Structure 1
Amino acid sequence: MERTMKLSEKKFFLLDMDGTIYLDNDLFDGTIDFLNEVKAKGGRYLFVTNNSSKSTDAYVRKLESIGIPATEEDFLTSTDATILYLQEKFQGRKFYSFGTQSFTSQLREAGINVTTELSDDVDGIVMGNDNELTFKKLEDACKLLLRDIDYIATNPDWVCPTAFGYVPDCGSVAEMLWRATGKRPHFIGKPRPEMITLAMKKFGYSKDESVMVGDRVYTDIASGYNAGIDTVFVLSGEGTMLDAENTDTKPTYILKNVRELYEKIKEK
């Protein structure tokens, strides 16, 4: 993608988290310097994550535990975007919640009619990243998908990074269900552009002023590309140079890590 402004001129930094500014509980070198520099220049950063297994409050506590002061206003999750989608498209419908207890609670608190029990009056399935996955949930989903119902999922990520490697994410579980039922969900989070366009509108930034930063070409970089903004691909997480070379959604910038990004935004 052709560059619109230099990184040092950007005002709105949309940041993936795991693999971009930290890994598991280890904060990457340069993260605090980068965040402080964005604020010092009068800009804003927003943590944009496809991980729907945690509430925004849990993310605030997570970042504070590794040394990053944060408030709920600093986040936009795929759960937030999914809630907005359900409120707009499916008012009054009853959904089977396929996700963590936290995910189900967030849906309920937002007024979405959800259940965790199999019943005949369920109109659809809403799926999130589920690190509390059980075989019963898989079986319930297979039974429901025999019917012609709506099927929504927060994000298409194959894996979620951990300190020891990777574990299956929402996209992998959806793929498993497709193998069993032939049904695929409508994904809401990255790489779709909605999360980014929603964030720019909410905080009043233009496309030229905004940049998406992440470690996955197929979600982070693709979402920025699809939203028409510049992107920074960092090689500190899941993605590799080979990923960047073998995609149609080419990143605007390729950097080693957040430390190198910090150095770039300091340039005159």
Structure 2
Amino acid sequence: MNRGETVDLSQKKLFLLDLDGTIYLEESLLPGAAEFLSWARETGCAVRYLTNNSSRGVEAGLEKMRRLGIPARREEFLTAVEATAYYLHTRRKPSDVYYAVGTDSFCRQLREAGFDLRQTPDRDVTAVLCAFDTELSYQKVENACRLLARGADFLATNPDLACPTLFGFIPDCGSICQLLVNACGRRPVYIGKPDPTMIQMAWRQTGYGPAETLMVGDRLYTDIACGVNAGTDTVLVLTGEATAADAAVSDTPPSLICRDMAQLLERLKEARK
């Protein structure tokens, strides 16, 4: 379902952008991404990068944007790690102890945010926290299974099944979680997109609201669903996971479908004439 004719693109001033599969693939910018970001800054619009990738921190994201020739500021990044920290601070007890299935960078960021993380399946662990772990080992999986069998809570940063690469896809957090679901019969509470927390954080930062916002991404069940859950317009770009055929049967169809960021930029410029 494409509802593009109902979207007033002339009113959009805050662009919430997914990264992997939307702005870039690995070390390559996708068509129109650089031009779109330049136009957004030249016209005084605000940009926030909303990513479910929890394998690296904001500093790594900034460095990658610099390598790709894209100017970016730290405050423009809203990640699944930040959403997770917000969730743990506001929804969990300060005394909770976590076992993380995640990268060293992920664990370091959570410790710096004040959370108690263990590297072994200690009996005082109250929750397993699963992320996109590019350093995954079978020992981590077994430790998580031990804890879930004891009754520890099951949390996860994001439900993405696959992360796009130049050659195809690799397993993301959702697929790692499915290993644990299959083994333990327990399903996690997902914290990142499609939960609207990151969008709400962007609104608090910028002062904009739903009518002025456009959520742009390549996944229906995370990026687009996040915008739908927040009550704002969405754009599906066909440079990553989802296809137009997928969108036609989705429970959370996008407001607009564009081939890539270049086509979205064309439509935005046309709407502002």
Task: Give the TM-score of the pair, scaled to structure 1.
Answer: 0.97
- Residue 14 of structure 1 is matched in structure 2 by 16
Q: Given that residues 83 and 198 in structure 2 are in contact (C-alpha distance below 8 angstroms), is that contact kept between their aligned partners in structure 1?
A: yes
Aligned 8 A contact 1:5 1:209 in 2: no
Describe the SS at the equivalent of 1:157: coil
Q: Does 1:153 align with 2:156?
A: yes
Cα deviation, 1:204-253, whole Å, max 9, x if unaligned, reads: 11100001000111111111011100000001111111110111211100
* 1:239 and 2:234 matched: no
Report the 3-state secondary structure (helix = DSSP H, G, I; strand = E; otherwise coil) of the residue aligned with 2:149.
coil
Aligned pairs for 1:121-160 (under 5 A) are 121-160=124-163
Match of 2:107 in 1: 104
Match of residue 185, structure 1, among 158, 169, 188: 188
Query: Identity, % of aligned pairs?
Result: 47
**Counterpart-to-counterpart distance in 2, 1:132 and 1:224:** 30
RMSD: 1.3
Contact 2:46 2:206 in 1 (8 A): no
Aligned to 1:68: 70
Note the residue ranges of structure 2 that are not aligned, 5 or more in a row. Answer: none
Q: Which of 206, 221, 226 is matched with 2:224 structurally?
A: 221
Which amino acid in structure 1 is aligned with residue 14 of structure 2? Answer: F
Partner of 2:35: 33
Measure the CA separation in 2 of the matches of 1:118 and 1:105: 18
Given that 1:232 and 1:253 are in contact with CA atoms closer than 8 Å, whether structure 2 keeps it comes out as yes
Structure 2 SS opposite 1:51: coil
Range 161-170 or range 36-45, more displaced: 36-45
Distance 1:51 1:199 in 2: 17
1:204 and 1:4 mapped to 2: Cα distance?
24
Q: Take 2:102 and 2:28, find their aligned partners in 1: how far apart are those partners? A: 26
Distance (Å, rounded) in 2 between the aligned partners of 1:12 and 1:4: 18
Q: Distance in 2 between matches of 1:40 and 1:69?
A: 13
Deviation at 1:153, TM superposition (A): 0.5
* Shift in Å, 1:202: 2.2
Count of residue pairs the alignment pairs up:
268
Contact 2:14 2:214 in 1 (8 A): yes
Determine if contact 2:34/2:70 at 8 Å carries over to the other structure. Answer: yes
Query: Does the Cα contact within 8 Å between 2:214 and 2:234 map onto a contact in 1?
Result: yes
Structure 1's unaligned 5+ residue stretches are none
TM-score by length of 2: 0.95
Rounded to whole Å, the distance in 2 between the matches of 1:230 and 1:25 is 29
Return the match for 1:261 from 240, 261, 264. Answer: 264
Residue of 79, 82, 85 corresponding to 1:80? 82
Q: CA deviation at 1:158?
A: 0.3
Counterpart of 2:174? 171
